[in-house]
Amino acid sequence: MHQFKNKEYPCCTSLTMSIIGGKWKTVILYYLSEGPLRYNELRKKMPTVTERTLSLQLKKLEEDGVVFRKVYAKKPPLKVEYILTDMGTTLIPIVKAIANWGDFALKSDF
């Protein structure tokens, strides 16, 4: 068993998938790999995700230490940006490999 942030995982793959798995987390990471984005900018890039789901997925990625939520509170309106952490940046090659495989699958005859 492997332990990460007080949770146990049977193998390293299950740990990785718990962090990036699901329908939206890799999409969020893919867009954040291009640079910091505000919540509404992410929503525009992902029009089919619900606000609740996007909010929950961002919160989970933040809890896992992959995304940093930066709040600019100096003057109204409040501005919030989401940025990849150093740990999040290490996931970019994996996310890009997943995206490349998706491109390959779209172009091939399976």
Residue-level pLDDT at 96: 94
Q: Within 13 Å, how many C-alpha atoms sit on residue 57's CB side? A: 20
Question: What type of residue sits at position 70?
Answer: K
Paired with 9 in beta bridges are: 2
- From the list 107, 73, 88, 103, the residue with the least C-alpha distance to 31 is 88
109 lies in a domain? no
Cβ atoms of residues 57 and 22 within 8 Å: yes
The total number of structural domains that make up the chain: 1
User: For position 96, which CATH number holds?
Assistant: 1.10.10.10
| Per-residue pLDDT tens over the stretch 8-21 | 888 988 888 989 99
| Per-residue pLDDT tens over the stretch 83-99 | 999 999 999 999 999 99
Reported as type and span, the H/E element at residue 82 is strand 79-84
Summarize the confidence of residues 92-109 as an average pLDDT: 92
Q: What is the pTM of this model?
A: 0.88
Residue 55, both tokens? 């909010």
| Per-residue pLDDT tens over the stretch 31-66 | 999 999 999 999 999 999 999 999 999 999 999 999
